[in-house]
Structure 1
Amino acid sequence: MAIVLATVTGELARRKPLHKLTYNVAQCSLSFLAAWGVLRLAGWEASPLLPADLRPADLLLVAAAGLAYHVVNIGLVGTALALIAGSTWWATTADNVWWYTRTTLAVLAIGPLIVVVSMVHAGFLILLVLPLWLIYAVAKLSLDRELRASTDSLTGLANRDRLEHLLEERSAAVARTGRRIALCVVDLDRFKEVNDTLGHATGDALLRAVAARLTAAVREDDAVVRLGGDEFVLLLDVDDRAVAGTVVERIAVHVHRPYDLAGVRLEVAMSVGVAVLGEDGDDLDTLMRRADVAMYDAKASGEIVRVYHRELDHRSILTGELVADLRRGMTARELELHYRPQVSIPDRAVIGVEALVRWQHPTRGLLAPGAFLPVIERTATMRQLTTEVLELALAQCARWRRLGLGVPVSVNVSMHDLADVTFADRVVAGIARHGLAAGDLCIEITEQALVGDTDEIIATLDAFAAAGIRLSLDDFGTGHASLTWLSLLPISEVKVDRGFVADLVEGRPAVGAIVRSVLELARAIGARSVAEGVETETQWAVLESLGCDAAQGWLTARPMPQDEATDWLLERTGSGDHRADADDAETVA
């Protein structure tokens, strides 16, 4: 009776719901009733008012009563958990038997000592308060440590170590229902830039906010796990694999809403790969590997979610090998730039160069962009590549400045670069680091790059214009941008696509009309017009008659490595006598 009253008091103090309080009282009562039944069957006549006369010979009987208490107690707990989780009684009980056995033994082991002390005098029970409190404190400390070992310290979510246990729990629960468990690997896009620009404190705050939204967006039976960094895992109970993708898209709506952190408004996107237990793998390692493959495919294609299918394996091997090889190549400084001159049509004076990346592969030789850009342009590695190309271009431009060559450099960037809110600041910082002026760099974008996160892209382009960096719209007329873009964007240069230039002298009046319209449009907005792919004097003459400002192509010069481009520029500008002085200055430095 005292134990039941203590249980009621403790549950009320914790404000447990009535149904839980009732269950715990019943569990305690039935467990002790089972122990009392064993003692009665053995002929004991003991009662709370008439304690038994314990002797060493009775220890086996006491142990049998304790075992009865334990079996009934764990059976009741296993039944309750099985009903809640929808799993089998045996799976739930077997999963928790060791933990409950340890805790029960801790409680029962002190019981005989309490009886012995009370038989001497009840007043001596006060001496057991401190030891009992210490036992409780040590047990609680052990539980806290076990919980911390399986909990992510930053977000409070389950961590990687606990993931396998959660998967086993849920797989047992759905085994008899015919439903599916979808393992979803979630990767946050552009999180590294938040850490780099706003600091780790803001990055941690963002991770906590994302974790809270993920937890709020899933159902109570689902699980959210943080793997580490900006990666999470969702375990979703779904009808089938098709439903899994729909559920993830609904979750993404919550995650993609803006975050207001430390006075900064941030937006984050996520890429998710889904693998289904039993269909795509039967163990955690296989599911994680295949969900990763699907996630990287989603990231590469610009989609929010991709559900795994076997065709992705081959695509992933090719993409993964190339991306890994390119990352190695960037570390080994295998990238190099070739430079294509741009000249003024009226006087053929050099007005700039366009930087074109090449990869000096150790086994495949010199690779043009077409051999690797299509594969990586939709992956996170594309941003790393752009950073590397900008660094090489700015460094070369600074060397030319020391030679007395005031030649601006144009660099192509992708849609993903422009959607990065930190991109403009990093480019401006790079210009300053190399001691250059904003006018020494021109950022080239294509119409394809304007299809995406419109607000972010316009903000980035406005930041470039505000810093004095020129913007060039490449291949105009071949993409999906409307003329409205030219009124919205601070464009200072419009390039005529090489396809139009090639057809310009083929007797096709429509092509001439299109080129004329593009040139007139460029003049109307105050932008310079540059024709690409000019290979003949006839093309040059027609472009000059139409009023085109500048040209680039094989007629002027092919793309050249940096040393050859330097000699070509020095020869065209008559600055050759400065090269030795600049080289000597670099050697001394």
Structure 2
Amino acid sequence: MTLFRQLIIFTFVLFLVLFTGIWFAKLETTRAFLLDQLESHAQDTATSLALSVTQHMTDREMVIIESMINAVFDRGYYMVVRLTDVHGEVLTERVMDVTIESVPPWFIRWIDLETPEADAHVMAGWHQAGFLYVKSHPGYAYKTLWQSVVRTTLLFLVCGAVVLIAGGFGLRLLLRPLVMVERQADAICRKNYEIQESIPWTKEFRRVVEVMNRMTYKVKEMFEEQVAQAESLRERAYTDPVTGLGNRRYFESQVTSRLDGPDTPTKGILLLVKLNDLDRLNKDKGFQAGDDFLRRVAQLLQQTMGQNASCVLARLSGGDFGIFLPDAPAFDAATIAKHIAADLGRLAAEEISVTDNIAYVGAATYTASVSLGRMLSEADLALSMARQTGPNGWNVRSITEETDAMPLGQQKWKEVLEQSLAERKFSHDAQPVVTMSDRNKLLHLEVFSRIVLEGNQLLSAGVFMSLAERLSLVSSIDRIAIEEVMKLDRSLLPTESVAVNVSPASLQDEAFRAWITLALKNLPKSAPRLIFEFSEYSAVQNLELVRDFSRIARDNGHATGLDHYGQSFSNLGYLKSMRPDYVKIDRAYTGELKERDNDSRFYIASLCSVAHSIDVLVIAEGVETEQQVQVLKELNVDAIQGYLVARPSPIRDMVRKS
């Protein structure tokens, strides 16, 4: 029971006790007063009537005497008026039955009024001629007493209602600081640090609020220090201190994880950008000028590649930059290399270098499985050939293994995507995510979409999603995947939750947002609980959009998650803002867990600490060895996903036969 209700009940009980005491005191006082009045009235009537009758007793004028008695009796305030002689013989008498109107019988039985009696001597000259006896009628007293009780009760009821209403508002006002303290404590649990600006005037409440405010400041500082520590660790391990881009270690781990991951796209582009005469610039103008030049180049490259969510951009060493586009079609390589070379060439006008020949760009494309070393070699050869083309030159080399089934140009890709959408030629595989404590316990299934080409060849989403976004077809692809999941019966699945990857580009489509909102509201109870996964980079770039959609999903009993967490350099503070149900650590960090002491280990530990403090689960993806599992368990990771658990398989094979 709340304190407010307890205080209301306590106030009501006190008021009831007070009312009962006053009510009985009022009843007894009124009763005593009325009895005194009746007694006095009876005695006064007997005395005055006896005196009036005395002058007619000598001649025994009974007619006049009876008229006088009748006149008094007819007023209705008496039960008996009797005149007797000295021997007790009744000379005249008037009697009225006791009838009390407008008063409940139970009240009469409960309140006993002893009816007062009075008598007086009647004289005839100097001799006593008889007695006059008067007994008052209690009806008037009962009626007066009942009316007094009713008025008193109504008055107290009205006062009680006013006291309870006013007291309720007053107590709410007085207890508001406690409500705010409760809200403040709950906000701390959700890692929202609210400070009470309005300090209550009540001394005790003021102390509580001031202490809560100080504690909120301290907890906020602790959380921010924890986030800053994790961010600092990752920056030192994976960030180039001059440009703020990823360093060579970051580049190699990211590229390797993309090439070795499940459903790896069999196409992509790797570009090397080599600045010209950087050593000469450092010598002639100083290292500060060289650093400024590097930062300007990094800024330009970020602007050029900023629209590609899957792009990996890093400074490899000195004046060398690496760019990896894991799902870009080969026909884009020349356009991208030419565009970068032209943009860098325009830096000559800013006079921040010692030559107009700013840089060379070499690109390597692949359409088959390839290693990072092979791509770097091909890109390096392309750089050498770019030098021969002249200042700010560029060149593209290809690593190919042609097949007739693969689309070759953008127009062909568009036709394939549109045909696949029209005929719903998509295959949906699922991979389980299991808890770290019990690998037999499924947390959820993650669904992957693939295009089915002629000859039943499958193309993974990594191959076509970037082009689908460019052609504004991604929302249609996401809708098909979600519709297929919605058709499943959760009772026939090994788990009730199914994760579906959604592109924030789909949320930018108003028609898609309207459809998914209505679909979630009308989703049958037999459908699985949906988890909408967004890649970390895309979610941060579309923060408000993803956050608004997350609220819609949670309001309908579903969830959201962040995929490939750590792939970009977004701040850990975004977790507190977005509040996903879980984050999946990018496989690049999982793949580095080969030694007990490494930066990936420390970063994952920091991430788990921050995430768990705001009730966000941490899942490691790309787990392939027992050694990784042991390390992840020590780091308090909640769940794992990868080939060690199970490979992706058609989700229809996971549905039990009803």
Q: Which has the higher helix share?
A: 1
TM-score bucket (shorter structure)? 0.3 to 0.5
Higher relative contact order (CA 8 A, sep 6+): 2
What is the TM-score normalised by the length of structure 2? 0.36
Which of these two proteins has the greater Rg computed from alpha carbons?
Answer: 2
